[in-house]
Structure 1
């Protein structure tokens, strides 16, 4: 669990109250849905769930239903699902509602339900994007993001600017704009820009970059996508496709980060807060898209076979399957405690790396 004070500090530091609200809302919703997955599967398997909480700290509202206390707490920083027998030592007394007394398959389903629900939520979010907002069909001429240190940034181009002319010629489409810039590596282009309702004229020298084996010119910005509403089936298909693509992208990225010892491929809370904050300024499409991708990332991260994570608990279940008996709760608890300490150190390292990247003006969407 990330310390609440750090989350507040991070969110405030990256751009004010609105970004704080968006950041906490996105992160909190993803974690609560993850815990909701554990709750649903625990209930289906007859495990006694004593507490299901949204947020931490002082309780604002609570109600008891079916032996479970459901509460909404003051600090909206995620939530938790507390089950009988999940962490405490086995009393040895037969209890049909005790997590530890359930068959291995039931325990596996309960633990895996959290990450699986994150994948399901991501698919739903992506489907909603397609149906309610629209699927990307190309690019507009409006600037979504300017990369720090790029020619566009040096010239003064900013988010929400619209490029209306290149070398005096009107820009008719996003693709025409991209083709014109790509065709002119290391060339200075006169750019007509609509900024806050006024027309401005900039001169931007393209930066050469390899693209599909060919040198092209780039300004260093990302255009807003053109969107078209999709049918329910098309939106659902795109949703599952996006989940699959994001899983592959994250797994490959994680492998490369580990194999090449490249910390720049990993983002912590500062990096995540920056991305969510930038997305908030670009509208609902980007906020939801980032939320969907973060939900997938949260699911993948929790499936890693590391102590203190769902994946670590699943690993102990496979050890139990091979040995024919479970690892003693004391030994497993010690491993999870050690793993939590290691994850805390990793969290500090990644956060430090995020801050350095931020200070150096690197990173972004």
Structure 2
């Protein structure tokens, strides 16, 4: 947003790192550069957009720019997140991208859990669940959740010897324990890609991940409409996960940041006023109607969208605090 606004001569009233309240700020050539208390992402206040409607008729206002410039500026944030993800994926493919090795290991077993009761201990390798080979931790967790309340059989390898273990996954386990009461992880390999090939492989990976996130977003909306429980996280969850992935080393951490950037691409495209997708929706409406939406209508819609996002963020933060603390 910032770079394209400057390129097109549109005034940026504030460019902030993090979100208010403001800690520090300095005005340079009409733009306030600020550092804010909440250390997640950043923002660009652009003249002629939500909350910045004074002087909307001025030549340096977003509101009077040709349609293609408004689309470019609006899509700039989404493009920036995609480029960041692409750069991180390029780096990972060159230095060694963490790739599932097809093995699931037990990292921790909770006290009095189904896993402990059948003798599973940290370091064990879970080979299969109900006769189905498991290659990732997510696969194992999904299978356990689907079979909650049923007697299930796992093939477990302990110190090179395989055995069968029968356990009943819990339908309502204690917070943070999961159906079987153990923490599992997927073994990873670090696969390197030739430098000349990495940019192309990384672009394909980023595009594939965007597609997966879009499918997940549609599934999430469908689950919400049907009243199903969904797993969402806010700033506290992101901070907790960042700390967790950072502990696994630089490569895993970079992969997490790349996935987070892709996630922001998809979230920002949601057609909600106050998000980039909402602004692009107004442009689409303008194309269909053949005339621009009034400033008052757009401002009102953006205010509603912003209020919705604030309420959602508060609810997610409360949920995160209850989950992680």
In 2: Cα distance, 1:153 partner to 1:347 partner: 39
Q: CA deviation at 1:139?
A: 5.3
Are the counterparts in 2 of residues 108 and 314 from structure 1 also a CA contact under 8 Å?
yes
From 337, 344, 349, the equivalent of 2:310 is 344
Query: Any idea what the Cα deviations from partners look like across 1:177-218, whole Å, max 9, x if unmatched?
Result: xxxxxxxx826756239xxxxxxx9x9836699xxxxxxxxx
What is the SS of the residue equivalent to 2:200?
A: helix
Q: CA deviation at 1:306?
A: 0.7
Does residue 257 in structure 1 map to residue 220 in structure 2?
yes
1:5 aligns with none
Number of residue equivalences: 285
* Unpaired segments ≥5 residues, structure 2: 128-134, 136-151, 170-181
* Unpaired segments ≥5 residues, structure 1: 1-37, 167-174, 176-184, 194-200, 210-218, 360-365
Q: CA deviation at 1:357?
A: 5.7
Does residue 284 in structure 1 map to residue 250 in structure 2?
yes
1:320 aligns with 286
Q: CA deviation at 1:43?
A: 1.5
Q: CA deviation at 1:351?
A: 4.3
Does residue 334 in structure 1 map to residue 300 in structure 2?
yes
Any residues of structure 2 matched to 1:36-47 within 5 Å, and which? 38-47=1-10
Are the counterparts in 2 of residues 84 and 98 from structure 1 also a CA contact under 8 Å?
yes
Are the counterparts in 2 of residues 257 and 263 from structure 1 also a CA contact under 8 Å?
no
Any residues of structure 2 matched to 1:62-77 within 5 Å, and which? 62=26, 64=28, 67-73=30-36, 76-77=39-40
From 205, 211, 215, the equivalent of 2:165 is 205
Are the counterparts in 2 of residues 138 and 227 from structure 1 also a CA contact under 8 Å?
no
Query: Any idea what the Cα deviations from partners look like across 1:165-185, whole Å, max 9, x if unmatched?
Result: x9xxxxxxxx9xxxxxxxxx8
In 2: Cα distance, 1:336 partner to 1:251 partner: 23
Alignment CA distance shift 1:267-1:313 (3 Å) = same
What is the SS of the residue equivalent to 1:327?
A: coil
Alignment CA distance shift 1:122-1:356 (3 Å) = same
Instruction: Please give the TM-score of this superposition, normalised by the length of structure 1.
Output: 0.64
1:18 aligns with none
Q: CA deviation at 1:330?
A: 1.5
2:239 aligns with 273
Does residue 119 in structure 1 map to residue 82 in structure 2?
yes
Q: CA deviation at 1:293?
A: 0.9
Instruction: Please give the TM-score of this superposition, normalised by the length of structure 2.
Output: 0.71
Q: CA deviation at 1:301?
A: 0.7
Alignment CA distance shift 1:297-1:40 (3 Å) = same
1:25 aligns with none
In 2: Cα distance, 1:75 partner to 1:344 partner: 14
Out of 311-320 and 257-266, give the one that drifted further. 257-266
1:151 aligns with 115
In 2: Cα distance, 1:147 partner to 1:104 partner: 58
What is the SS of the residue equivalent to 1:267?
A: coil
Q: CA deviation at 1:342?
A: 2.2
